[in-house]
Amino acid sequence: AYNFSAGPAALPEAVLREAQAELLEWGDARASVMEVSHRGAAFEALVADAEADLRRLLAIPDDYAVLFLQGGATQQFALIPMNIAAPGQAADFVVTGHWSAKALAEAGTYVDARIAADAGAPYVALPPRAGWRLSDDAAYVHICQNETIQGVEFQEAPADLPAPLVSDFSSTLLSRPLDVSRYGLIYAGAQKNVGPAGLTLVIVRRDLLERAGQPRARILSYAEQAAQRSMLNTPATFPIYLAARVFKWLEREGGLAAMGERNRRKAQALYAAIDGSGGFYRNPVDPAVRSWMNVPFAIHEERLHAVFLEESDAAGLLALKGHKAVGGLRASIYNAMPEAGVAALIDFMHDFQERHG
Ligand code: PLP
């Protein structure tokens, strides 16, 4: 079966097989990786290696810290303002869909969260950069790089910002090369392209860690986590182990340039099938900002969605139901989705249209 889930999402089969093979005995440990101390030499070496691989894959500059945290992207919605803004300081938010709206709402507890631009429902385009109303005194500017639900993506970092750019990369990190230096802080829940749920990546420019931020417990401090190499307490050991395997897999596959080419081909093929269906299927998003990872689409007749879901599931094409906020269908085609999976979906879509068109 091919799994089109938006997240937790499919992981590379090769990675799962490796993990399965050493589930009971990891390396020389004579125990599972889940059963060893996170402070032992073997696990510490694994984390150091994972960080080195991630730095190489993304070409992360030395003046950025890499944190392996928990709490998901949602917790970062709160931790970011706490850590890099003073109480009540302004922060600018660009609202482009469901997740950027959530980030804005959570940050409002800690900062003066201002809407610099709002694309407006149904969130099928990005607000033009020229119209953003940015504050002179903002601690940062927040965007969501890829709106997982609406399928709208910033293809690159917006330019000429007066404050550091903070971006939620949960559903697009590692899908293609990325210029980290354009961002002050990048964060992502792991459960799409990185690994299983339970791990959250934060990549943050070190000068931002020197900001006083707000009074907060040590455990909520990025600076403390960076100083302790994300080992202030027990980290999500098994998700880190699997993510480390995913990083090695990405390198074997040719790195992010190769992955980006593959993802571009997958997305192009699927959008072309939707656009070429004579209106049977449609995707409402501005073609210039269509997501490479999450492809929402609808059938012209609402009642056919349930039929499509039943038949596609029976054909081994899983989890194609659209998010309830948008309805219809959605295919998430992260790194672990092979081109053959997208081709199988397109074949099924043609066949379905012939039978129901
Ligand atoms: N941001 C984006 C873009 C997402 O897709 C998601 C989850 O799907 C979240 C944030 C929330 O992530 P988490 O459940 O890890 O808090």
247-291 pLDDT tens trace: 999 999 999 999 999 999 999 999 999 999 999 999 999 999 999
**Residue among 150, 171, 201 whose CB has most ligand 1 atoms within 8 A, to mutate:** 171
Measured in whole angstroms, how far is the alpha carbon of residue 160 from the centre of its chain? 24
Top CATH class, 14-252 = alpha beta
Top CATH class, 255-356 = alpha beta
Report the distance separating Cα 204 and Cα 65, nearest Å. Answer: 5
DSSP state of 256: H
Mean pLDDT, residues 325-342 taken together: 97
Task: Report which of 250, 253, 254, 240 is spatially closest to residue 45, judged by C-alpha positions.
Answer: 240
Give the pLDDT confidence score for residue 257 in this predicted structure. 98
Give the pLDDT confidence score for residue 10 in this predicted structure. 97
> Which residue in 192, 266, 292, 321 is the catalytic one?
192
Which residues line ligand 1 at a C-beta cut-off of 6 Å?
A: 7, 72-74, 99, 144, 148, 168, 170-171, 189
For the four alpha carbons of 110, 114, 116 and 119, in that order, the dihedral sign comes to positive
- Complex ipTM: 0.99
Is it true that 14-252 and 255-356 share their CATH fold?
no
Cβ distance 158 to 135 under 8 Å? no
> Is-catalytic flag, 168?
yes
How many residues in total does the chain contain? 357
Between the CA of 285 and the centroid of ligand 1 the distance, in Å, is 20
Between the CA of 76 and the centroid of ligand 1 the distance, in Å, is 10
Mean pLDDT, residues 94-107 taken together: 98
Residue bearing the CA closest to ligand 1, atom 14: 72
Mean of all residue pLDDT scores within the chain: 97
> Is-catalytic flag, 132?
no
38: burial class by Cβ within 10 Å (0-12, 13-18, 19+)?
middle
Report the distance separating Cα 9 and Cα 31, nearest Å. Answer: 27
The pTM score is 0.98
Residue bearing the CA closest to ligand 1, atom 2: 170
For the four alpha carbons of 192, 290, 99 and 121, in that order, the dihedral sign comes to negative
Domain boundaries, the chain: 14-252, 255-356
Residue 356: band (very low, low, confident or very high) from pLDDT cuts 50, 70, 90? very high
> Which residue in 53, 99, 112, 266 is the catalytic one?
99
pLDDT tens track for 294-303: 999 999 999 9
pLDDT tens track for 141-183: 999 999 999 999 999 999 999 999 999 999 999 999 999 999 9
Distant-in-sequence contacts of 226-230, Cβ < 8 A, 24+ apart = 226/65, 226/67, 229/47, 230/47, 230/67, 230/68, 230/69
Count Cβ neighbours within 10 Å for each residue of 165-197 and write b for 16 or more, e otherwise: bbbbbbbbbbbbebebeebbbbbbbbbbbbbbb
Mean pLDDT, residues 101-114 taken together: 97
**Residue among 74, 75, 145, 146 whose CB has most ligand 1 atoms within 8 A, to mutate:** 74
Give the pLDDT confidence score for residue 285 in this predicted structure. 98
